[in-house]
């Protein structure tokens, strides 16, 4: 499975964003619940202190008053949040506010909870304070309904919890933005690495100001230098080996040609097969020299495909049918020649006597060179396996030198090599990408 069609892998930024979201949501929820619980307790204490303070103030006012009606008029009541009663020594209700029950509260000094058994059935939080009256020592009772206290607690708790959630959300957004900002240099380094060619000494990776990224850059540069050195050594060895082979092969061909003229008829067939094998080896060496001389670095040129094919050394006994009409294409002539030489040699080795080359232009400016022959071909399962190996670039043990070199040439041109289905023989489709601007 190729990288383009493989499963989507999670990104560091995405995973970090999800983790931050979960942590922030958990923190905000925990903070909101904690604030809610703390606020409830604090509000209860504050309301109790308010009741106590109200009873102190009201007690001072009652001590200073000379006369007081049994009930305070609604217009004279300045509070809609509290109710009060003044109870005499005998437990009789002396005075009350309009919000207070008509039944006297009979509670001990301090704070108490009281439930009205009347029609309203209100629950009260009552603070009882001793207060002298004309008839003797009495009691001043200041109260607040439980519904009022619940409303106050709910408003304060919800406001506090909402504030905690809002702060948590803002923190999440800020941390997510900061995380993406911190990961931006990593994305930039990834983009630089995508176009980095360790074999091109003119390319330099941008400097990194983050220590971790600077270490990655240094490691990649070191790896690139070692890779470039190894490739250079292999190219040098292969080039020297190919040059060293070319001269003896030329001498062998000359000697075999002379031997064919002088040999008796019964030996000429064997000498001819030997000369053909030497000629094939010469063509392979020529293709290898071309590849190592270019180093897979393209020199784009406008070339005529028909003229290029006329210059290629074809195997003896293989006829090539060239395309008609306009044959102008953009490619590296040396690399393309190396790839086509190997494909034609493959066709000849597998019993082909005739090959057909056709040119198909693509809408994006690229082209496909379709080369078919009348050779022995391959089974369907072999063709599928070869296509899979070409797609994955897993050449070793699955194909010969010809297909591998042709695929490398196609990839150097921004294309690829595929084996299409044909009714007989064998065919390859060598796709070349458009010429870069």
Residue 288 CA to residue 295 CA, distance in Å, equals: 10
pLDDT at site 368: 93
pLDDT tens track, the chain, 437 positions: 444 444 566 666 667 777 777 777 777 677 767 767 776 677 777 777 777 777 777 777 766 654 454 444 444 444 556 787 788 888 788 877 777 777 877 788 888 787 766 655 677 788 888 877 666 678 888 887 777 777 777 777 777 777 777 777 787 778 778 777 877 888 888 888 888 877 777 777 888 887 888 888 888 888 888 887 877 776 676 666 666 777 777 788 788 888 888 888 887 787 777 777 777 667 666 666 666 655 556 778 898 888 888 877 788 788 888 877 777 889 888 788 878 888 988 888 888 999 999 999 999 888 999 999 998 888 999 999 999 989 888 887 888 878 888 888 898 888 999 999 998 899 999 999 998 87
Residue 174 CA to residue 196 CA, distance in Å, equals: 34
pLDDT at site 430: 94
CATH 3.30.930.10 fits 298-437, yes or no: no
Q: Enumerate the domain spans of the chain.
A: 10-71+80-196, 208-295, 298-437
pLDDT at site 429: 94
Q: Could you tell me the CA-to-CA distances from 329 to 322, 361, 366, 371, 416 in Å, in that order?
A: 14, 9, 9, 16, 16
Write the CB contacts of 270 (distance below 8 Å, at least 6 apart in sequence). Answer: none
pLDDT at site 423: 87
pTM for this model (two decimals):
0.45
pLDDT at site 288: 63
Q: How many CA atoms lie within 13 A of 375 on its CB side?
A: 24
Q: Treating both helix axes as pointing N-terminal to C-terminal, what angle do 401-412 and 380-392 enclose, rounded to 10 degrees?
A: 40
Count of CB atoms situated within 10 Å of the CB of 128: 22
pLDDT at site 372: 93
Residue 145 CA to residue 100 CA, distance in Å, equals: 10
Write the CB contacts of 381 (distance below 8 Å, at least 6 apart in sequence). Answer: none
- In this structure, are residues 291 and 322 in contact, taking their beta carbons and an 8 Å threshold? no
pLDDT at site 6: 47
Counting DSSP H helices and E strands in the chain, the numbers are: 8, 12
| Domain range 208-295, CATH architecture | Orthogonal Bundle (1.10)
């Amino acid at each position: 499975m190729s990288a383009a069609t493989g499963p989507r892998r999670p990104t560091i930024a995405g995973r970090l964003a999800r983790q931050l979201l979960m942590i922030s949501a958990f923190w905000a929820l925990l903070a909101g619940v904690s604030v809610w619980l703390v606020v409830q307790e604090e509000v209860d204490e504050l309301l109790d202190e308010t009741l106590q303070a109200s009873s102190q103030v009201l007690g001072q006012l009652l001590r200073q008053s000379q006369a007081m009606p049994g009930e305070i008029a609604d217009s004279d009541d300045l509070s809609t949040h509290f109710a009060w009663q003044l109870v005499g020594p005998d437990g009789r209700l002396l005075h009350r506010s309009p919000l207070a029950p008509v039944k006297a509260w009979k509670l001990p000094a301090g704070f108490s909870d009281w439930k009205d058994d009347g029609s309203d059935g209100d629950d009260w939080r009552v603070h009882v304070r001793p207060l002298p009256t004309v008839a003797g020592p009495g009691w001043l009772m200041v109260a607040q309904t439980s519904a009022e206290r619940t409303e106050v607690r709910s408003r304060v708790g919800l406001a506090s919890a909402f504030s905690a959630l809002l702060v948590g959300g803002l923190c999440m957004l800020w941390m997510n933005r900061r995380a993406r900002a911190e990961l931006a240099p990593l994305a930039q380094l990834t983009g630089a690495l995508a176009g980095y060619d360790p074999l091109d000494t003119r390319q330099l990776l941008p400097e990194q100001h983050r220590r971790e990224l600077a270490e990655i850059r240094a490691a990649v540069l070191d790896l690139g230098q070692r890779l470039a050195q190894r490739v250079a050594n292999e190219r040098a060895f292969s080039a020297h080996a190919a040059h060293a082979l070319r001269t003896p092969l030329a001498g062998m061909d000359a000697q075999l040609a002379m031997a064919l003229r002088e040999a008796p008829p019964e030996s000429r067939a064997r000498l001819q097969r030997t000369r053909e094998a030497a000629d094939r080896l010469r063509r392979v060496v020529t293709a290898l020299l071309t590849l190592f001389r270019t180093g897979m670095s393209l020199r784009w040129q406008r070339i005529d495909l028909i003229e290029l094919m006329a210059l290629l050394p074809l195997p003896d006994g293989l006829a090539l049918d060239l395309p008609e009409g306009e044959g102008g294409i953009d490619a590296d002539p040396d690399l393309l020649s190396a790839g086509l030489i190997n494909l034609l040699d493959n066709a000849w080795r597998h019993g082909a006597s005739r090959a057909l080359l056709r040119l198909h232009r693509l809408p994006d400016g690229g082209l496909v060179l379709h080369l078919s022959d009348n050779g022995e071909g391959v089974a369907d399962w072999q063709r599928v396996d070869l296509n899979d190996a070409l797609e994955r670039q897993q050449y070793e043990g699955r194909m010969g030198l010809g297909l591998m070199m042709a695929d490398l040439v196609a990839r150097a041109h921004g294309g690829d090599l595929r084996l299409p289905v044909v009714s007989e023989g064998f065919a390859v489709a060598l796709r070349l990408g458009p010429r870069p601007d």
